[in-house]
Structure 1
């Protein structure tokens, strides 16, 4: 239990930050899962439409990661590592 006003404020700020972090991290994880599911589909079909869909998903992942980095959810090196790994997966197929 908070004993003073500043401690109560820090609790509120921590709660707000936790929700923001959770939103960005869970969204990125979900998008990455859909990226890999569509990557498997593309590996089998080799269809141009599937590749375009992968590019759109990758673009939205990049967007979420960059927004999270701007709000200090991700460290910039962590964001760069995640983005480069995903790009390497797409390039390999």
Structure 2
């Protein structure tokens, strides 16, 4: 157990951040999963804007790395382009 007041506060802050980061990471994974399941090109393109913004934000806030955000955005863009070609 922590002996200093500042260490106790740090533990509280870390637990709060972990909980918040887990929530946003799970929300992001669900959004990516739903976008990959999308078959309508118009809806997929609309959702891509939202998911892309979410990925950028989480990358900036270090919930996920910036490279992971870029890789996911790239793969999702490829998926949407395939939908447009198949249409």
What's the TM-score once normalised by structure 2's chain length?
0.82
**RMSD over aligned Cα, in angstroms?**
1.4
Cα offset, 1:51, TM superposition: 1.4
Query: In structure 2, how many angstroms separate the alpha carbons of the residues matched to 1:67 and 1:23?
Result: 14
Q: What is the correspondence of 1:12-91 to structure 2 with a 5 Å cutoff?
A: 12-38=12-38, 42=39, 50-91=40-81
Q: Contact 1:24/1:64 (CA < 8 Å) preserved in 2?
A: no
| Deviation beyond 6 Å, 4+ runs, structure 1 | none
Q: Return 5+ residue gaps in structure 2 as ranges.
A: none
Query: In structure 2, how many angstroms separate the alpha carbons of the residues matched to 1:83 and 1:62?
Result: 6
What's the TM-score once normalised by structure 1's chain length?
0.78
Q: Does 1:10 align with 2:10?
A: yes
